[in-house]
Structure 1
Amino acid sequence: MRNFIIRRVLIAIPMMLMASLLIFAIFAATPGDFIDGNITLTAQRAAELKALYGLDQPLQIRYLRWLGQLLHGNLGYSLQYQIPVSTLLNQYLWNSFLLALVSMVLYWGIALTIGVLTAMKPYSWFDHLVTVAIFAAMSFPTFFLCLLLIKWFAVDLHWLPAGGMLRTGSEARGMAWAAEVMMHLALPVLALVMLQTGSLTRYFRSSMLDVIRMDFIRTARAKGLGEYTVIFRHALRNALLPLITLLGFELPGLFSGALITEKIFNWPGVGHIHIDSLASRDYPVLMGFTLFLAVLTILGNLLADVLYAFADPRIRLRS
């Protein structure tokens, strides 16, 4: 197992270098930058700022300098916010993590429960009802669903706040602060759960149906085991194996999957500053955040490989 993990880590290192090169090349090929987009600057002042930030250097020099900064944990300097990119991301990253983690726990739990129940009674009225509800929720565009939830629960019913993380001028502390955050968290979490639960439920249902039809399940039932034991101790454990792969995409999805939702609900997360940086062409922020997502994707796939190897020893023997 140790050799398996070492091989996967060694493979991940050149992947990270290639990801950094690809990200830099894409943004370097994008026309314009934050300085070019500032129409208030004179040509002389724009040239001075480009020289100050090294934007007038050849691309290979700029990449090597950026790569050297990355090796020291420096993601660059934000031209729009005038602070280091790592400091800027750290201010908003944990808010996005809170939103995405709560959403992920809920939609994985709901998808697992509904997926198992529909697989136990396939093509029943319950299965058809769940299918219709799932596709109805998935058919809503993200921005429309968010605005609809705001209208229903914030404008019409006045049950929940329309956006933000805290009330304006709030000085709440302790449990009062936590309760206030949870109130503001409810609507964006509801939107993400409605958007994400559907596809994951279909994965669980399909995987469970495949396992339930296998010979060892029929054998377990023929031995007289109870249906609860057959489903949850035998079928579910084997059905979860293919879904381990999805965990590799959940890690970057914790931060990238709620960009539009954060913007609409004015949630102070990285999605909010990512869209603002995109509008102002603040490429150091965009490059730093994109690289962060790329590293999370590689680490997520590495974690999925390790978990799959633990769950299925045959993977270790073939690798």
Structure 2
Amino acid sequence: MRNFILRRLLQTLPMLLLASLLIFLLFAKTPGDFIDGNITLTAQRAAELKALYGLDRPLLTRYLHWLWQLMQGDLGYSLQYQIPVSQLLNQYIWNSFLLASVALVFYWGIALTVGVVSAMKPGSLFDHLVSVVIFAAMSFPTFFLCLLLIKWFAVDLHWLPVGGMTNIGSDEGGWAYIMQVAAHLILPVLALVMLQAGSLTRYFRASMIDVVRMDFIRTARAKGLREGRVIFKHALRNALLPIITLLGFELPGLFSGALITEKVFNWPGAGHIHIDSLAARDYPVLMGFTLFLAVLTILGNLLADVLYAWADPRIRVA
């Protein structure tokens, strides 16, 4: 197992290098930048700023300089916010991580539970009801669903706050602060869960149905094992194998998928500043955030490989 993990770690290095090159080329070759979009600057001042930030250098020189900065932990300098990109992301990325991790726990738990129960009773009333609810939730556009939740629970019922992370002007601390954050989390988490849980539930259901029809499950039942032991010890572990491969896309998918959700609910996360930076063409921020998503994707796939090897020892010799 240790050799398997070491091989996978070594394989991530060229992937990271290739990802950094593609990300740099994507934004470097995009027409215009933050300086070009500032119509208040004279041509002379714009040229001075381009020279100051190194935007007039050859493409290869700029990439090697950016790569050297990355190796030192420097993501560059935000032209819009006038602070280092690493400092800017550090201010907001943990809020995004809080939102993403809470949503991930909820919709994986819901999908696992509902998918297994639905697979145990295929064609039942519960199974049909789950299918209707899943496809109804998945059919809503993200923007419309977020606004609908705000109208119902914040505007009409006054149960939950409209947006933000805390109450306006609040300086609470301790338990009161935690309760405020929890209340503001409910609506964006609910939106993400409704959008993400449906497809994962279908995956769990289909995988469980395939496994419970296999010969080793019939043999386990014929040996007199309890149904709970058959399902959760034998069937579920094998049903999780194809689902594990999806884990590599979950974290980057949640961070990138939460861009619209964070903007609508005014949640102070990285997705919120990403949209603002996109409008301002602040490419250092965009490159830093995109690289962060690429690193999450690579680490997620590495974690999926390790979990797959743990669940299926045959993978370790591959």
User: Counterpart in 2 of 1:273?
Assistant: 273
> What code does the residue aligned with 1:44 have?
Q
Quote how far apart the aligned CAs of 1:237 are.
1.4
Trace 1:1-319 onto structure 2 (pairs within 5 A): 1-317=1-317, 319=318
Asked if the contact 1:76/1:86 (under 8 Å) is kept, the reply is yes
Secondary structure of 2:12's aligned partner: helix
Secondary structure of 2:3's aligned partner: helix
Secondary structure of 1:74's aligned partner: coil
Measure, in 2, the Cα distance between the counterparts of 1:225 and 1:287.
55
> What code does the residue aligned with 1:182 have?
A
Measure, in 2, the Cα distance between the counterparts of 1:145 and 1:213.
38
Residue by residue over 1:268-299, the C-alpha shift from the partner in whole angstroms, topping out at 9 and shown as x without a partner, is 00000000000000000000110111111111
Quote how far apart the aligned CAs of 1:309 are.
1.0
Measure, in 1, the Cα distance between the counterparts of 2:10 and 2:187.
42
Secondary structure of 1:34's aligned partner: coil
Identity %: 81
Measure, in 1, the Cα distance between the counterparts of 2:97 and 2:26.
27
Measure, in 2, the Cα distance between the counterparts of 1:86 and 1:291.
12
- Out of 6-15 and 246-255, give the one that drifted further: 246-255
Asked if the contact 2:100/2:251 (under 8 Å) is kept, the reply is no
- Structure 1 residue runs of 5 or longer lacking an equivalent are none
TM score, norm. by length of structure 2: 0.99
Measure, in 2, the Cα distance between the counterparts of 1:156 and 1:75.
44
> What code does the residue aligned with 2:7 have?
R
Measure, in 2, the Cα distance between the counterparts of 1:108 and 1:7.
29
> What code does the residue aligned with 1:239 have?
A
Q: How many residues align?
A: 318
Asked if the contact 1:97/1:254 (under 8 Å) is kept, the reply is no
Quote how far apart the aligned CAs of 1:248 are.
1.1
Quote how far apart the aligned CAs of 1:254 are.
4.0
> What code does the residue aligned with 1:41 have?
L
Asked if the contact 1:96/1:254 (under 8 Å) is kept, the reply is no
Quote how far apart the aligned CAs of 1:251 are.
2.7
> What code does the residue aligned with 1:123 have?
G
Asked if the contact 2:92/2:268 (under 8 Å) is kept, the reply is yes
Quote how far apart the aligned CAs of 1:257 are.
2.2
Q: How large is the RMSD of aligned CA atoms in angstroms?
A: 0.8
Measure, in 2, the Cα distance between the counterparts of 1:6 and 1:133.
43
Measure, in 1, the Cα distance between the counterparts of 2:225 and 2:11.
44
Measure, in 2, the Cα distance between the counterparts of 1:263 and 1:314.
44
TM score, norm. by length of structure 1: 0.98
Measure, in 2, the Cα distance between the counterparts of 1:236 and 1:3.
27
Asked if the contact 2:237/2:311 (under 8 Å) is kept, the reply is no
